[in-house]
Chains A and B, each alone.
Chain A
Amino acid sequence: MTGSAAVPIAAITLVPGTSDGPAFVLQEPLSFWGGLDATTGEITDRWHPQSRAILAGHVLVMESGRGSSSGSSVLAEAIRRGTGPAGIVMLTRDAIVTVGAMIAVELYDVSCPVVLVAAADWPTLVTAKRLTLDAGSQRATLTVR
């Protein structure tokens, strides 16, 4: 992956790890509990504009989280099964997402890094085709392709 148009963006680590995958930009926040099928990675919330899309293996770009704290279990379960996102980029901090991804890496050693980016970088991210995340313990770098 040595695309010539790579753009690095500085970010804050919420959950450390590295990942790379096609970008999936959520048009609306998604509650993982009641909104994601952990066995398939499909968005099952019928009210969501991207209902029926498959998240598995994508770097999820989401403005903020939504819904019940049981979403942490669903996210961790999806990451464990390999149906979850490869990484998550957020504009606002979210405890449900952070906890779910932390549990997956601690229990199963499957990393789904979660990073927080600045509003100024958001327009670049929502048009990204592919994203590479390198999240250290505090600081992270995103590469947009």
Chain B
Amino acid sequence: MTVTLADADRDLLGGAHGEAAAFAMRLMVRFAEAVGAPGFIDARSAHIDGCLYHGQVSLDFVEHLLALGGRVRVPTTLNVGSIDLIHPELFRGDGDLLTAGSRLMIAHEELGCVPSYTCAPYQTMFRPQLGWQIAWAESNAIVFANSVIGARTNRYGDFTDLCCAITGRVPNYGLHLTENRRARVVVEIADLPPEWSDAGPACVAVGHVIGRRCGERIPAIVGLPASTSEDDLKALGAVSASAGAVAMFHAVGLTPEAATLEDALQGERPEEVIRLTADDLRATVRDLSTVPDGTPLSAVSLGTPHFSTTEFERLVPLLSGSRPAVDMYVNTSRQVMEEVEARGWDTALRAAGVTVVLDTCTYVTTIMRDLSGAVMTNSGKMAYYAPGNLNVDVAFGSLADCVASARAGRVVRS
């Protein structure tokens, strides 16, 4: 497998843009050989998940790039880190991790990355546009960019995301190419549970099924409710990328490369058709909870992926009334929080005793005070990861059910 290098790539390798870019390009050429990419194209933006501490090598890599004079060459956002730098007192892990984790985040800023610290960079001013070639990490951001926006990225991750940012180049293979964005599987929703008033739970259920049954194949979903919002598609993608390796889906009539089913399939026949009934969706949602209704709760956790402005807009009216009996956490980004404050919603959040977590999230780091009982969430992704990452029981429910349960101190459903 020979990788064809353009003049721009040779300049990078030869050190025309500094030693850090040469180092990063060397790594990317090996990467391109390993994935079978024939060459490179320009990246318009990058999103980096290396600011979450995995061990000494995470820090050594970034310090090495800094020592070589490294600087990102395209707009580059940062995923969540290990620490809420705005509220470091929330951190409950050990002191060495606090020091190394904080340094890792700051070192990325020194490389010129934007301190966005969010797993939802698509909710910032750095949101890409239809057709943009980008180099993104973080599974939910990847699936959102490809599916909901129609920007183009493969599943970049450790080291390669930052090397793309430092070189401004991305290997031209996989989902960067139109022909590989075709749906292979059709997921038909035959009917929706009539008792579900919003599209949220249905989207989480469909996302979960896709994750388990499609592998890396791209599905085209037919029959989502017309009321499906961008936040619902965000939740769908996030759980699909947690339960499986989904990097892209089409939602017919909702996402930009799927005006029709034929468009999503690019005129070809699907390899498989999966039909989901209301009972299938109910069963999937039921299985996301590891405890029965009525179970006492320690906490309610919202915003995985990070809460958007519109999700806060839905949450705030639900908070009026009696104060929650258990801890409520909402994970979000600095930029969304500024918007929340500008609209004056922070008063209602404070009055209800809600803890807003910035820069990080409640399942990648030790923040939640009390984990003796179950945790309730409206996030399929949180429900998928929390039992393993935090060793807790979870209850999954709609946003309204989460708030009602926080107030009751146990799992209740409307």
Interface residues of A (CB under 8 A from B): 14-15, 38, 68-74, 76-77, 80, 93-100, 102-104, 106-108
| Contacting residues, chain A, for B23 (C-beta < 8 A) | 106
Cβ contact within 8 Å between B159 and A72: yes
- Chain A CB count within 10 A is highest, among B27, B56, B156, B158, for B158
Complex Cα–Cα for A17 and B21 (A) = 22
Complex Cα–Cα for A94 and B156 (A) = 13
| Contacting residues, chain B, for A95 (C-beta < 8 A) | 31, 34-35, 160
Cβ contact within 8 Å between A38 and B157: no
Cβ contact within 8 Å between A102 and B30: yes
Cβ contact within 8 Å between B54 and A99: no
Cβ contact within 8 Å between B56 and A70: no
| Contacting residues, chain A, for B64 (C-beta < 8 A) | 106-107
Complex Cα–Cα for A95 and B161 (A) = 13
Cβ contact within 8 Å between B61 and A99: no
Partner of B57 from the list A76, A93, A94, A97 (CB cut-off 8 Å) is: A76
Cβ contact within 8 Å between B54 and A73: yes
Q: A73-B58, A103-B57, A107-B61 are in contact. Are A68 and B157 (CB under 8 A)?
A: yes
Cβ contact within 8 Å between A98 and B31: yes
Q: Which residue of A lies closest to B23 (CB)?
A: A106
Q: Which residue of A lies closest to B60 (CB)?
A: A107
With an 8 Å Cβ cutoff, the count of chain B residues facing the other chain is 25
Cβ contact within 8 Å between B27 and A69: no
Q: Which residue of A lies closest to B171 (CB)?
A: A95
Cβ contact within 8 Å between B35 and A93: yes
Partner of B36 from the list A38, A72, A93 (CB cut-off 8 Å) is: A93
| Contacting residues, chain A, for B157 (C-beta < 8 A) | 68-70, 72, 96
Interface residues of B (CB under 8 A from A): 1, 23, 26-27, 30-31, 33-36, 54-58, 60-61, 64, 137, 155-160
Complex Cα–Cα for A68 and B23 (A) = 24
| Contacting residues, chain A, for B31 (C-beta < 8 A) | 95, 98-99, 102
Distance (whole angstroms) from the CB of B158 to the closest CB of chain A: 4
Complex Cα–Cα for A4 and B241 (A) = 51
Complex Cα–Cα for A108 and B61 (A) = 10
Complex Cα–Cα for A98 and B30 (A) = 7
Cβ contact within 8 Å between A80 and B56: yes
8 contacts between A and B (CB under 8 A): A73-B55, A73-B57, A80-B56, A93-B36, A95-B160, A99-B159, A100-B158, A107-B61
Complex Cα–Cα for A97 and B33 (A) = 12
Extra contacts, 5 of them, besides A74-B54, A102-B27, A106-B64 (Cβ < 8 A), are A68-B157, A77-B55, A93-B35, A104-B57, A107-B61
Partner of A72 from the list B1, B33, B158 (CB cut-off 8 Å) is: B158
Cβ contact within 8 Å between B30 and A70: no
Partner of A103 from the list B1, B61, B155 (CB cut-off 8 Å) is: B61
Complex Cα–Cα for A94 and B30 (A) = 11
| Contacting residues, chain B, for A102 (C-beta < 8 A) | 26-27, 30-31
Q: Which residue of B lies closest to A79 (CB)?
A: B57
Distance (whole angstroms) from the CB of A97 to the closest CB of chain B: 8
Complex Cα–Cα for A95 and B173 (A) = 13
Cβ contact within 8 Å between B57 and A99: no
Complex Cα–Cα for A73 and B161 (A) = 13
Distance (whole angstroms) from the CB of B96 to the closest CB of chain A: 14
Complex Cα–Cα for A15 and B26 (A) = 11
Complex Cα–Cα for A77 and B156 (A) = 19
Return the 5 tightest CB-CB contacts between A and B, nearest first.
A69-B157, A98-B34, A72-B158, A73-B54, A77-B55
Cβ contact within 8 Å between A94 and B34: yes
Complex Cα–Cα for A74 and B55 (A) = 8
Distance (whole angstroms) from the CB of B271 to the closest CB of chain A: 21
Complex Cα–Cα for A71 and B27 (A) = 16
Cβ contact within 8 Å between B54 and A15: no
Q: A107-B57, A107-B61 are in contact. Are A99 and B35 (CB under 8 A)?
A: no
Distance (whole angstroms) from the CB of B390 to the closest CB of chain A: 15
Q: Which residue of A lies closest to B154 (CB)?
A: A95
Q: Which residue of B lies closest to A69 (CB)?
A: B157
| Contacting residues, chain B, for A80 (C-beta < 8 A) | 56-57, 60
Cβ contact within 8 Å between A103 and B34: no
Complex Cα–Cα for A109 and B36 (A) = 26
Cβ contact within 8 Å between B36 and A69: no
- Chain A CB count within 10 A is highest, among B23, B33, B58, B64, for B33
Partner of B30 from the list A14, A76, A96 (CB cut-off 8 Å) is: A14
Complex Cα–Cα for A68 and B157 (A) = 8
Distance (whole angstroms) from the CB of A76 to the closest CB of chain B: 5
Distance (whole angstroms) from the CB of A41 to the closest CB of chain B: 14
Q: Which residue of A lies closest to B29 (CB)?
A: A102
Complex Cα–Cα for A119 and B137 (A) = 33
Distance (whole angstroms) from the CB of A100 to the closest CB of chain B: 8
